[in-house]
Structure 1
Amino acid sequence: MSLQKARIKAFEDLLGQDVINMGQLQKLAFNGVPEEKGLRSLVWKILLHYLPQEKDAWQSTLLKKRQLYQQFIDEIIVSPGGPSDHPLNISPDSSWSVYFKDNEVLLQIDKDVRRLCPDINFFQSATEFPCLEIVNSNGVKRLHKRVEQSVLSYSTLERRGLGVATLSNEIRRSSSVTSGDYTPLNEGCEAHWEVVERMLFLYAKLNPGQGYVQGMNEIIGPIYHTFACDTNKDYRSKKHSCFTFNSVMFLDFLPANP
């Protein structure tokens, strides 16, 4: 038996247990996990605490995460409830203020994900699991539409003269699209980079204390690619990457010496 086949069998034997031994799995994975048979995808999900050690709890966990991810999509992107107050409201907590701040964050995310892993064409290709509520909305719900070749208007409070507060509307035209950047697919389709964009925006909204930091796209990229290429279709769903990325951002649960 070749060394590679022996490693694959070692992982399969360990993952075949009713309760996964985390210590043994960490040691076995320390020198890398084979891609064959979806092993890398599954091991990452377990080690990053997306799936529990108990195998009989995997299906219920997947169902719970699927429902939670859909809830995030519905509440934050599909039907967020548009700004209801006056657009010139200067309160930092106003709906319009939040909307404009979100656009600023989204602009940076959009720039970053359009250049994700340019050496491979994976992120430019179409996902087999597009978010139908978004890709069939005539572009209304697609995040890149809020920044791509469009005008972002927002209000800033300026102090002039003797401290008199005045509002000035600033207009910014997005410069996120260049000749080397990825372009969106047609209505009804969705590229992988668009899915990553949505995940990063969700993370920024759900974690306002940290928000989006440039470079997070490089962290979620390998996670998303590994999960999306899983040989088991049940484990390819985008929600897996979303929750696993969230776990990676809280690394305090990872041991120093696996």
Structure 2
Amino acid sequence: MFHSPQMVKKRVPEWLNSSLWSSTPSPSLDDDRVQPYTSKPTATTTITSSSSTSDYEPPSMVDPPIPVPPPKPTREDKPPPQPQSTDSLPNHEDKNNTTPSPEDISRQAQLLVELSRKTINLRDLRRIASQGIPDGAGIRSTVWKLLLGYLPPDRGLWSSELAKKRSQYKHFKDELLMNPSEITRKMDNCTNCDTDESKGQSKGLLSRSEITHGEHPLSLGQSSVWNQFFQDTEIIEQIDRDVKRTHPDLHFFSGDSSDAKSNQDALKNILIVFAKLNPGIRYVQGMNEILAPLFYVFKTDPNEEDAASAEADTFFCFVELLSGFRDHFCQQLDNSVVGIRSTITKLSQLLKEHDEELWRHLEITTKVNPQFYAFRWITLLLTQEFNFADSLHIWDTLLSDPEGPQETLLRVCCAMLILIRRRLLAGDFTSNLKLLQNYPPTNIRHLLYVANKLRVQSSG
């Protein structure tokens, strides 16, 4: 796996660190935390952005109503600090603005109307959700389940479908998370029952010839559950390490509280079951980062019954989400037309189409290989580039794409490059690599606006 540079400490919104999750203070973000899927060239040190405003100004697009971009910086180590206006900051970072905006209230009302219909119109739901789903009322939880195909459009089928899926997940856990000793005991009990029925005089004692199946702990047989158990141990240990590093800045996932430990156990269960059901992929470092937003959204659903079944719901939605990206996690397909390198090439082509000057400067003049930064952006669905609240907003848009999230993801990645084009054009290999591996704070609404403009231009 790739190793990553040090991670910039990101401030956590107060609403994410509610006392609901823990009474102990949140641990600080560890500077040497391993970040999966990151190539680490020689020049990779942490840089803190001095500006949260964007540099985006291609002449072919209509400028959105945002503050005037800062002047073009010179070729020095870092551009001078720029004043930050309220509009240039992510909405959740404005501590004085706790009241939902009129747009959020209106969108929430529209979503509630759509969710109240007997048959959900997925096209209308996607259109509204793509602009961002307001927090609260459990709306995001239900909408994501619909967007991922976990819930059918017919509301009348929801109850039966949920009951069936949740029962199926319980069966997976019972079968796949069982200790080998329990499996062996279960098989012996069945054998004993058969033996007692046919040979009552044996009194349940197996003769030496009847100890079969290769289920002794020292058995090396491929079919042995013990042999399989020892093979799985390494993967389970990796899952355990990664889960413990998942969002250490959030009480929900980290800390000594019983809730945090329970949430970590749920993540581990999901990843172990997934690995065993998908032997072609198994577990790849970084899957825990994709799993975390889904579980958080479902576990914090105000509906107690749905929150209690968050682990099962998350498992199936995780499978649905990963089905569109599974080839990125298969090393054997890295160089194929469906592998991660092919997807990174598509991002490079997209940038060249919309901003050839920036593309030429990055890939030809300064030799910044897109794999150095885009590998993590794409495989982890931008969960490591933005704080948790902003990641949820971006995912609202990604999951709303009727053709799947990948094309929208590439447009968002391209927009990320265009938004900081001035700094990139003024930079050399080292400064640009630092900037791209530690993406500066930005206005998420503006970022998604630009990404949507790229869609309109491409289709036009």
Same fold, TM-score > 0.5, yes or no: yes
Match of 1:118 in 2: 248
The answer as to 2:175 corresponding to 1:75 is: yes
Instruction: Tell me, in whole angstroms, the C-alpha distance in 1 between the residues paired with 2:224 and 2:277.
Output: 18
Q: Equivalent residue for 2:155?
A: 55
User: Which residue is 2:23 aligned to?
Assistant: none
Equivalent residue of 1:210, what SS? coil
Looking at secondary structure, tell me which structure has more strand per residue: 1
Instruction: Check conservation: 2:126, 2:402, Cα contact below 8 A.
Output: no
2:319 paired residue number: 246
Within-5 A mapping of 1:26-175: 26-78=126-178, 81-82=182-183, 85-124=215-254
Q: Which is higher, the Rg of structure 1 or of structure 2? A: 2
Determine the structure 2 residue equivalent to 1:199: 270
Question: Structure 1 residues 196 and 57 mapped into 2: Cα distance closer, same or farther (>3 Å)?
Answer: same
**Paired residues, number:** 199
Q: Distance in 2 between matches of 1:66 and 1:26?
A: 25
Q: Displacement of 1:209 after TM fit?
A: 1.4
Deviation string 1:32-75 (CA, Å, 9 cap, x unpaired) is: 11122111011000001111011000000111012111111211
Which of the residues 216, 231, 238 maps onto 2:302? 231
Specify the alignment match of 2:283 in structure 1: 212
In 2 relative to 1, CA 183–190 (structure 1 residues): closer, same or farther, beyond 3 Å?
Answer: closer
2:114, 2:135 → 1: CA distance?
16
TM-score by length of 2: 0.40
**1:116 and 1:96 mapped to 2: Cα distance?**
30
For the residues of structure 1 that align with 2:261 and 2:183, how far apart are their CA atoms?
24
* Aligned 8 A contact 1:184 1:194 in 2: no
Structure 2: how far apart are the matches of 1:183 and 1:245? 26
In the alignment, the residues of structure 2 paired with residue 251 and residue 233 of structure 1 have an alpha-carbon distance, to the nearest angstrom, of 30
Q: Alpha-carbon deviation of 1:251? A: 1.8
Contact 2:151 2:158 in 1 (8 A): yes
Structure 1 residue 24: deviation in Å?
1.4
Shift of 1:247: 0.8
Q: Distance in 1 between matches of 2:305 and 2:146?
A: 15
Per-residue CA deviation, residues 200-242 of structure 1 (Å, 9 max, x unaligned), is 1011111111111100000010100011011111221121111
Q: Distance in 1 between matches of 2:293 and 2:280?
A: 24
Higher helix proportion: 2
Question: Structure 1 vs Structure 2: percent identity of aligned residues?
Answer: 35
- For residues 402 and 276 of structure 2, the distance between their equivalents in structure 1, rounded to whole angstroms, comes to 24
After TM superposition, the score normalised by the length of structure 1 is: 0.70
Structure 1 residues 190 and 119: CA distance shift in structure 2, 3 A: closer
Q: Deviations over 1:186-213 (max 9, x none)?
A: 9xx9521111111110111111111111
Instruction: Show CA shifts across 1:165-193 (max 9, x none).
Output: xxxxxxxxxxxxxxxxx56959xx95211
C-alpha spacing 1:5/1:254, structure 2 compared with 1 (3 Å): closer
In structure 1, the residue matched to 2:123 is 23
Partner of 2:391: none
Partner amino acid, structure 1, of 2:288: N
CA distance in 2, matches of 1:202, 1:111: 16
The alignment partner of 1:122 has SS state of coil
AA aligned to 2:169 is Y
Task: Give the drift of 1:86.
Answer: 3.4
Q: Per the alignment, in what secondary structure is the counterpart of residue 177 of structure 2?
A: helix
Q: Does 1:3 align with 2:103?
A: yes
Higher relative contact order at CA 8 Å, sep ≥6: structure 1 or structure 2? 2
Q: How does 1:170-189 map to 2 (within 5 A)?
A: none
Distance 2:256 2:243 in 1: 11
